[in-house]
Amino acid sequence: MTRIRLPKITLWRAVAGLIFAAGFYATYLRFVKGFEVATNLSNAQPWGIWVGVATLCGVGLSAGGFAIAGAVYLLGMERYRPILRAAVVIAFLGYLSVVAGYAWELGLPWNFWHPIVMWNRHSVLFEVVWCITIYTTVLALEFSPALVERIPWKGVRELYLKLQHKILIALVLIGVLLSSLHQSFLGGLFIIFKGKMYPLWYSNYQTTLFYMSAIPAGISMIILALYLSARSLNVKIDMRILDDFSRIIAPMLVIFTLFRFADLAKQNALGYLFLPVAETGYFWLEMALFVAAPLVLFNLPQVRSKPIGLYWASATVIAGFITHRINVSITSLERFTHANYVPKWPEMAVTVMLVTAAVVAFRFAVLYLKIFPQSMQVEPPPFQLPRTTGYVFPAHPSTAVN
């Protein structure tokens, strides 16, 4: 009798298993029973959390990829190089889950390729689709060395790495441009909803606001991922990098908020700030989570000095960011549409499954690929192939000579 060795069941594995089970059942409902059974979407509320959270937040929280790549390669901030790959992987997985999410969100997902051949350049969404498609490819190319390093044939490996290194700067530059465009254009989607959106969230500068909110949220996401890697994957985190990040986030949030209030003032919407209606509550919840709480937390020495403090402060930023984007995409329309939209459980199950899939993929990437430099890895990752080159993370052999 042979004994089959099953993976050990831990609490988090059980949780992940449950999430996937629920997600699969929700997927069955979406594709076999249709939108009517699987969602609370309606003619009044055609976009729910699959757009508001899975897309808008997914893309925004992946902004750390272009920010760190730009900082290291274009601004020469070498001190962030140790976490560069992690940032790129987080962004890549984030975008993959956003793109995958469109299988559930689109009514006719098998027509996903239509925007590639059927153009309408007046559409903001057209630009967003193109930018996201190209940028996901760019991220795949930026991330590819981590996979190619595992190829056992030296010739192939080195040829690819050499070629990749030649176009790397161009990739990073294109990545920063494309990201700047589509991060803003996600906000641009809402500019045409004039008259339908509650004044606290309508803005002619929604593009700028979305760009300014995505960067601190994306950086917070990196802090979160680094902390969790340290907790469960034996990665040593460099406190100096985390500390640096925590110094950047607060001023960015302040600039965002100042711009936001100046914009509200310009649109004569300040009168709505204290009206006794539900929207006011949602607005201040957003302000509390996205601005007030992080500003306090990031300035407390007890919080700043410990990774777990920074972790919770970043988690607050992310929660606030998600609240902001849900408010823009869902709360703001309620008064006009009377849709009374609350997501149905399959909508949430699919969204949570997409996030979980990205987290699991990140875990495997850290375990089996060289995502963090050797100096940050406390113990060598299991199943590591023998190192065949004098490869020193993270520079490429061809440049290591210099």
Partner 1 sequence: MKTKAMLIDITKCIGCRACEQACKEVHHFPAEHEPVLSATALTVVEERGDKFVRRLCMHCEDPACASVCPVGALKKTAAGPVTYDAKKCFGCRYCMLACPYSVPRYEWSKLAPHVKKCDMCAERVAAGGVTACAEACPVGATIFGDREDLLAEAQKRIRENPAYVNKIYGAEEVGGASVFFLSDVPFEKLGFIKAPQTTPLPVLSASALGEVPTVVMVGGSLLAGLYWFTQRRQQVMAAEATEKEHNVPRFRDKERS
- Count helices and strands (H / E) in the chain: 18, 0
**Among 147, 149, 141, CA closest to 171:** 141
392 lies in the site for partner 1, by CB under 8 A: no
398 lies in the site for partner 1, by CB under 8 A: no
* Nearest residue (CB) to partner 1, 39 versus 229: 39
Token representation of residue 114 = 């239509």
- DSSP β-bridge partners for residue 34: none
- DSSP β-bridge partners for residue 235: 377
Binding mask 70-99 for partner 1 (x = CB under 8 A): x--xxxx-----------------------
272 lies in the site for partner 1, by CB under 8 A: no
The residues, ordered by sequence, that sit 6+ positions from 342 with a Cβ below 8 Å of its Cβ are: 40
Token representation of residue 143 = 């991330």
DSSP state of 389: S
How far is residue 137 CA from its own chain's centroid?
Answer: 16
How far is residue 115 CA from its own chain's centroid?
Answer: 23
Residues from 336 through 365 that contact partner 1 (CB under 8 A): 337
204 lies in the site for partner 1, by CB under 8 A: yes
**Among 98, 46, 2, CA closest to 355:** 98
Q: Which of 10, 194, 271, 379 binds partner 1 (CB under 8 A)?
A: 194
* Closest CB 167 distance from partner 1, rounded Å: 14
306 lies in the site for partner 1, by CB under 8 A: no
111 lies in the site for partner 1, by CB under 8 A: yes
Q: Which of 2, 43, 268, 302 binds partner 1 (CB under 8 A)?
A: 43
* Nearest residue (CB) to partner 1, 133 versus 314: 133
Q: Which of 99, 103, 168, 177 binds partner 1 (CB under 8 A)?
A: 177
**Among 47, 294, 214, CA closest to 222:** 214
* Phi, psi (deg, nearest 5) at residue 235: -95, 135
The runs of H, that is alpha helices, within 233-342 are: 239-266, 278-287, 293-299, 301-304, 307-326, 332-337
Quickly list DSSP for 30-73.
Answer: IIII-HHHH----SS----HIIIIIIHHHHHHTTHHHHHHIIII
192 lies in the site for partner 1, by CB under 8 A: yes
276 lies in the site for partner 1, by CB under 8 A: no
* Nearest residue (CB) to partner 1, 41 versus 315: 41
* Closest CB 108 distance from partner 1, rounded Å: 4
Residues from 231 through 250 that contact partner 1 (CB under 8 A): none
Residues from 307 through 336 that contact partner 1 (CB under 8 A): 333
Quickly list DSSP for 163-203.
Answer: HHHHHHHHHHHHHHHHHHHHHHHHHHTTGGGTTTS-TTT--
* Nearest residue (CB) to partner 1, 36 versus 243: 36
Collapse the DSSP code of 99 into the 3-class scheme (helix H, G, I; strand E, B; otherwise coil) and give the result. Answer: helix
**Number of residues binding to partner 1, judged by CB under 8 A:** 57
26 lies in the site for partner 1, by CB under 8 A: no
213 lies in the site for partner 1, by CB under 8 A: no
From the list 176-184, 218-226, 252-260, 361-369, the region that binds partner 1 by CB under 8 A is 176-184
Contact 397, 161 (CB under 8 A): yes
Binding mask 116-135 for partner 1 (x = CB under 8 A): --xxxxxxxxxx-x------
From the list 81-89, 181-189, 251-259, 341-349, the region that binds partner 1 by CB under 8 A is 181-189
Q: List residues binding partner 1 (CB under 8 A).
A: 31-32, 34-36, 41-44, 46-47, 70, 73-76, 105-109, 111-112, 114-115, 118-127, 129, 169, 173, 176-177, 180-181, 184-185, 188-189, 191-196, 204, 207, 333, 337, 402
